[in-house]
Structure 1
Amino acid sequence: MDVTPQGTPYDGETTAAGRRMLTLARFPSYPAAQHLIDQLSDAGFPVERTRIVGNGVRSVETVTGRMTKGKAAVYGAGTGAWIGLFIALLFAIFTIGPVWWGVLLTTVLIGAVFGAIAGFVGHWATGGRRDFSSVTALEAAEYEVQVDADLYGEAQRITGQSVR
């Protein structure tokens, strides 16, 4: 397990409910911290009295590709079609018989057309200042698994984490 053992338990954290939390372990990745919580859960530990705290949080924007007016129109059409489908489902409550299929097709097509126009115009309005698409996520430099102070010893016993 890629864990950094603690010299002494960190007891500087108190939750909003006034519970004192001790750091059981630190990890460089979130999945590793999740694994430790899963290990505690499998042993019957009350995991509702633990938490994973990300330290050194930063925003990371991953560029996924070039954005053109055509791509913006296609993405807008897809979004508009979904909105049209939602509206069609609302109309379905009041529509009886096979007429519903016509309502469905019409609202999806109208939504796609308006979405395509909105996507094209929205991208065109930027004037080329943002010709790329991206996804933004939050990442942390490290993740601490913290446990209620009164359950710290039991958590250590279950996970084999020793204080050095």
Structure 2
Amino acid sequence: MSTSSAAGAGGFAGQPVPVQPVDPSRAMVSVATYPEYADAQRAVDFLSDNKFPVEHSAIVGTNLRMVEQVLGRMTTGRATLYGAGAGAWFGLFIGLLFGIFVPTNWFAVVLTALVIGAIWGAIFGAIAHAMTRGKRDFTSSRSLQAGEYAVSVTAEYAEQARQLLARLTTPAS
């Protein structure tokens, strides 16, 4: 069984972390690797299309890294606008709930809740941004990316999977 001793890999410092199932009958064998997730997904789909028991397979990403894409500068004005938008959505939700129980003029209830939600959201957005004191004046989007993706199957199906995947990469004649 392959193990990793890196503390950042999910275990405590110095303790190995198993990367394969503990059950020896479910030991996984890598049958192909791909640089992109879409390629690994296409390979598993190809196995499925050829009646391979895909419940015995997995796509395993390795060489993981967290990527944070900076989207733009965060100002107090922008935080206020984002807060107003979030508050408006919440106000709309509450207004619709209350509007169900109002026999007349439900539209006024919904509109009032939306406006109140937007105002409070703007206030809280501005306060929350001011409380950071400029320590994070940008917006970003985080994602977890792998360096490569391996298609793994249980040992008993490894040869069958390799044969099928060899047909996937061979051009049709």
The alignment's TM-score, normalised by the length of structure 2, stands at: 0.77
Over 3 Å counting, the alpha-carbon distance change for 1:14 and 1:127 in structure 2 is closer
84, 98, 105: which one pairs with 1:99?
105
1:99 maps to amino acid:
N
Deviation at 1:17, TM superposition (A): 5.8
Deviation at 1:73, TM superposition (A): 0.7
Report what 2:11 is aligned to: none
42, 52, 60: which one pairs with 1:45?
52
Report what 1:158 is aligned to: 164
The alignment's TM-score, normalised by the length of structure 1, stands at: 0.81
Report what 1:7 is aligned to: none
RMSD value over aligned CA atoms?
2.0
- Aligned pair count? 150
Q: Which runs of 5+ in 2 are unaligned?
A: 3-18, 168-173
CA distance in 2, matches of 1:28, 1:123: 39
CA distance in 2, matches of 1:62, 1:151: 40
Over 3 Å counting, the alpha-carbon distance change for 1:23 and 1:103 in structure 2 is same
The answer to whether the aligner puts 1:67 opposite 2:80 as a matched pair is no
Report what 1:84 is aligned to: 91
Over 3 Å counting, the alpha-carbon distance change for 1:93 and 1:157 in structure 2 is farther
Deviation at 1:129, TM superposition (A): 1.6
The answer to whether the aligner puts 1:145 opposite 2:145 as a matched pair is no
CA distance in 1, matches of 2:61, 2:128: 36
1:83-125 CA-to-partner distances (Å, cap 9, x unmatched) read 11222233244333x5221221111111111111111111111
CA distance in 1, matches of 2:115, 2:108: 11
Over 3 Å counting, the alpha-carbon distance change for 1:101 and 1:16 in structure 2 is farther
Over 3 Å counting, the alpha-carbon distance change for 1:16 and 1:104 in structure 2 is farther
Q: Which runs of 5+ in 1 are unaligned?
A: 1-10
Identity value in percent: 47
Report what 2:62 is aligned to: 55
CA distance in 2, matches of 1:127, 1:14: 45
Deviation at 1:135, TM superposition (A): 0.6
Report what 2:128 is aligned to: 122
Which of the pair has the greater relative contact order for Cα pairs under 8 Å at 6+ separation? 1
2:160 maps to amino acid:
E
CA distance in 2, matches of 1:82, 1:46: 45
